[in-house]
Each structure stands twice: as C-alpha cells, then as structure tokens.
Amino acid sequence: MQFTASQIALIINGKIEGNPDASIGSFGKIEEAQPGQLSFLANPKYEDYLYHTGASIIIVNESQTLQKPLSSTLIRVPDAYSAFAILLSKYQEMRTQQMHGIQEPSYISKTAVLGTNVFIGAFSYIGENAVIGNNVKIFPGVYVGNNVRIHDNTMLHPGVKIYHDCVLGKNVTVHAGTVIGSDGFGFAPQADGTFKKVPQIGNVIVEDQVEIGANATIDRATMGSTVIKSGAKLDNLIQIAHNVEVGNNTAIAAQAGVSGSTKIGHNVMIGGQAGIVGHIQIADGSRINAQSGVSKSIKTPNTSVTGSPAFDYASALRSQAVTRNLPELEKRIIELENMVKQLLAEKAGI
C-alpha cells in the first residue's frame, strides 16, 4: 500500500517541502530508513541522520532548521512525534480492519451477543451472556468469562484473560498475557496461624481509551469495582490490586505495583518498579520516581517524590549531593579536630 506526501500531509495537517508526489510504503527509523520509507525527527540528538537517511519522506517539527540541502521530502508539523504516532495508529487501524469473522476452533456461548465486524481468533472462549461490541478484535487464545462486557473498537491480543463480570470500555487495547479480574489478595489470619480466603465478589471496570501492556494483572475488587479510568496507560508487568482506582490519563511504567484500595489521581506518572502501599491516596499530577516506595498518602497535587520510603524529590537530590560529599566532609572534620587539639594543647602549655 503506497501513500504520497500529499496524502500524508492531509492526514496530519502538515506543510510539504519538496516533492508532493514522493511516495512511501512502509516506515523506518531515521538512522536506518531506505527509499520508499517514511521516518520522523523529533529528538535533536538524531539530527545528523536527517542529512544522510535514505527515507523518502521525513516528518519534522515546524521549528527544525536545515544546515544542509536534503534529498528527502519534508512534512513540517507542530509536533513530529505526535504526528508520527497518528500515522502509525492509522496504519494499524487499516491492518486490523481487514480482520473479521470467527476462526475455528473457538467456543462462543449461545447466550453471548456479538456486534458487527467482530473478529474472534482460533482457540478463543466467549462465556455465557458476554456482550461483545462492534469492531472488537479478539486474537487467538483469549478467554472472555461469563457476563463480561466489551465495548466497541476494543482489541484483546493473544492469551488475554478477562474473568467474569468485568467491563471493558471503548477503544481499549490489552496486550498479550494480561489477566483482568483475577481474585484480589484477600486472606483473613486465623487463630491457629492459617489463613481463610475472603471471597472476591467484585469486578474490574476498564474505561475508554485505556491501554494495558503485556503480562499485567488487575485484580477484581473484594466488593465493588477495581477501576482503571479513561485514558490511563499501563505498561507491561504491572500489578494492580483489588479495589484500586487509577485516575484519568495516569501512566504507570513496567514492574510497578499498587496495593489494595489505594486511590491514584488523574495525570499521575509512576516510574518503573515503584511500589505503593494500600489504603492511601495519590494526588492529581503526582510524579513518583522509578523504584520509589510510597508508604503514605501524597496529598498535595503535582508533587514529585523519590526514594524508599519516598519523599520530596528536591530534598532527595540535596541529600544525595550531601552523601556524595561525605568522604570530603569527614576529612575536613578530622582536620578541624586536630586543629582544636593543637589549640588546646598550646593553651594548656601557656
């Protein structure tokens, strides 16, 4: 499938510099792209490749200045990275639109309701009273439990497991191996040292425009719902415990874990391998650095924290600077102690 610079510029509302009839059929990184491919430049670190790449068309920022003449056709946009993301989304959308129908073998309950233009891959299971919306794409090996609701344009990649009663909104993407709705970690300690399981009878609600990475786990609520709100983005290998709420447009990086009943606000950013204890609140706009351990609520919006236990980011940086200077500080203290001893000795001699 070929596209011209004029067609691409129309999609991303860009301005063409060069040949409007230049065409591409695939994408490539700017340092590796070949003729017939489209690339982009957003990071100044890669600017040198702009003058050597083989890409036929390059998307650049409006502010990009040229130091040398180019053979490639440029499309200038306000934000090259976002424009390139739009094109990749359109490309993926065209590919998935070709997927429709039901592959065999697969199991679909007679009580399940399927929308239009649905794709269900081989070895998938659709449980009783499940409702699958329009244009939903279910890849091979997916399990959809009883009473699950999956709304329009959602995509479940291979091996995804959606337990009973869970709800997925519109335009949700769930990557391979992720489990949504497994039991929350609820056990009541007994007098004899054993644990009694607390049944987890709630569900998980994933709202619209959410993306969840591969091999993540989102536990169902003990009662009520674990909620991932609209626009949230979860990376691979994330654990979200029972009754957690993740706010709108919050991003959580890989290997982070959130303990039960914690409420995370909107537009929060959580770095990789961060750990958050249960039953606390994280204010809107908070920034939690990678590998931080958050043990108490963050009540002030737009606060940045780091460390374990996590505390104010600026204070942490000052503490790190002091720590690096400890050997020199120790040397100076020893010198001062020696000077004091010498002065006392001289005074005693007088």
Which one, of 174, 159, 162, 184, lies nearest residue 112 by Cα?
162
What pLDDT was estimated at residue 99?
80
The more confidently predicted of residues 141 and 339 is 141
Quick: pLDDT tens for 28-68. Answer: 999 999 999 999 999 999 999 999 999 999 999 999 999 98
CATH number of the structural domain spanning residue 43: 3.40.1390.10
12 with 110, same domain?
A: no
30 with 163, same domain?
A: no
pLDDT at 95 exceeding the cut of 90: no
What pLDDT was estimated at residue 326?
85
Which one, of 159, 107, 171, lies nearest residue 133 by Cα?
171
Active site residue 242: yes
Q: Which residues constitute the domain of residue 331?
A: 323-349
pTM of the model as a whole: 0.82
188 with 277, same domain?
A: yes
62 with 170, same domain?
A: no
pLDDT at 195 exceeding the cut of 90: yes
132 with 276, same domain?
A: yes
37 with 17, same domain?
A: yes
Total of domains in the chain: 3
The answer to whether 144 and 178 have CB atoms below 8 angstroms apart is no
The answer to whether 59 and 15 have CB atoms below 8 angstroms apart is no
What's the rounded mean pLDDT across residues 166-185?
A: 97
**Per-residue confidence band for 345, with pLDDT thresholds at 50, 70 and 90:** confident
209 with 64, same domain?
A: no
83 with 141, same domain?
A: no
What pLDDT was estimated at residue 90?
86
**From the centroid of its chain, how far is CA 74?**
30
CA distances from 165 to 47, 132, 168, 202, 204 (A): 50, 13, 10, 8, 8
285 with 201, same domain?
A: yes
124 with 17, same domain?
A: no
What pLDDT was estimated at residue 311?
63
CATH number of the structural domain spanning residue 247: 2.160.10.10
The residue type found at 234 is L
82 with 180, same domain?
A: no
Which residue in the list 164, 242, 266, 279 is annotated as catalytic?
A: 242
**Per-residue confidence band for 350, with pLDDT thresholds at 50, 70 and 90:** low
256 with 341, same domain?
A: no
pLDDT at 98 exceeding the cut of 90: no
